Amino acid sequence: MAVEIKAAHGFRELREFVGLPYRLHAGTRWIPQLIVERYVFLNRRLNAFFKHGEAEYFLARRGGRVVGRITAHVNRAANEYHGRRWGNFGFIEFEDDQEVVDALLATAQEWVRERGMERIVGPMDFTMNDESGVLIEGFEREPMIRQPWHPPYYQQRLEAAGFEKAMDLLMWELWFTDRYSGMLKVLPEIAESSRTKHGVTIRKMTRRHLRREMDEFAKVYNAAWSKNWDFVPFSKEDLDAYASGLQLVFAKDWSMVA
């Protein structure tokens, strides 16, 4: 049967859109996301992205059965910041079927082309500050918050569709069994010097003041990341949404400010 692509309208189709990866990745290393967070994130009234961007959600069906999904979107803030006309795709999930992938990507390309875009880049859900990229190695590792996980065939199918890498996105891990094993010996000395000579202190964030903490975070982030690939500064609306999302996973022992 032919692959049919249609925009997802209404709650029933949104539920199918959200639910697809839970079916595709059941029994894998993928750690399910919080379903309530996904509905909030995809809500056009609640996600700050839609204050400076637009998007459409698409479902792929074969014989009435959902076999894939994708979003096509335009981030006006990013395009204005970088002086370009890029469209994006994101939230891509699909069964291991090249025809499905080709149909999804063709639909996304046509959608952004109709809006005057010259290139399509992805996946990013919806921006580089959200989940981005396709996993190409480290499949055996558990994904972390705001980092995606995909089976190996995702890379293979996307490249077979004619897409190629734009940029490497790396994740770093450091495991050690006690405070000093595996750690450079000079680090405790530097830490002590930072405290005694430069007055650097560390305190824990609080859930009550998390939104206020995010303003300080943004100052550091926007300065440190300003030359990073596809960087866009956090706006007030972005921080409002980010803080709300973090409330769902906030843990005071792991949230600190220096």
Residues 190 and 117 occupy one common structural domain: no
Give just the sign of the alpha carbon dihedral 186, 188, 189, 190. positive
Same structural domain, 146 and 246: no
Domain annotation covers residue 229 = yes
pLDDT over threshold 90, residue 147: no
- Give all strands (DSSP E) within the chain, no chain letters: 3-7, 53-62, 65-75, 86-94, 119-121, 124-125, 131-132, 203-204, 256-257
For residue 113, what is the DSSP state?
A: H
CATH number at residue 48: 3.40.630.30
- Range(s) of the domain holding residue 233: 186-257
- Burial category of 75 from C-beta neighbours within 10 Å (exposed 0-12, middle 13-18, buried 19 and up): buried
Q: Is residue 19 domain-resident?
A: yes
pLDDT, one tens digit per residue, over 15-67 is: 999 999 999 999 888 888 889 889 989 999 989 999 999 999 999 999 999 99
Residues 17, 23, 26, 29, CA torsion sign: negative
For residues 92 and 153, state if they share a domain: yes
Q: How confident is the model at residue 178 (pLDDT cuts 50, 70, 90)?
A: confident
- pTM for the predicted model, two decimal places: 0.87
Residue 177 lies in a domain: no
